[in-house]
């Protein structure tokens, strides 16, 4: 069996039930490589999370030290 990433087109996990027999538990089909993450979306989400975390830590500090 060849596991060269250029020749791999899919993977699956097959289970077996004593009554029903084999069944597909999980599958993943691979296609041409694409960008996994859009940098603009990542940057905007990072900024949102940073602002929320900063706000939370400030509020926590005000509660703990008041």
What band does 42 get if pLDDT is binned at 50, 70 and 90? confident
Q: How far apart are the first and last CA of the chain?
A: 65
Q: Which residues of 1-27 are buried (b: 16+ CB within 10 A; e: fewer)?
A: eeeeeeeeeeeeeeeeeeeeeeeeeee
SS3 15: strand
pTM: 0.38
High-pLDDT (> 70) share of the chain, %: 71
The 10s digit of each residue's pLDDT in 12-37 is: 778 877 777 777 777 777 666 666 66
């Amino acid at each position: 069996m060849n596991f060269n990433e250029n020749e791999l087109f899919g993977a699956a996990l097959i289970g077996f039930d004593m009554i029903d027999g084999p069944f597909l538990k999980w599958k993943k089909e691979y296609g041409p490589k694409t960008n996994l993450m859009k940098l603009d979306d990542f940057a905007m989400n990072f900024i949102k999370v940073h602002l929320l975390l900063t706000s939370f830590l400030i509020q926590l500090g005000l509660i703990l030290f008041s």
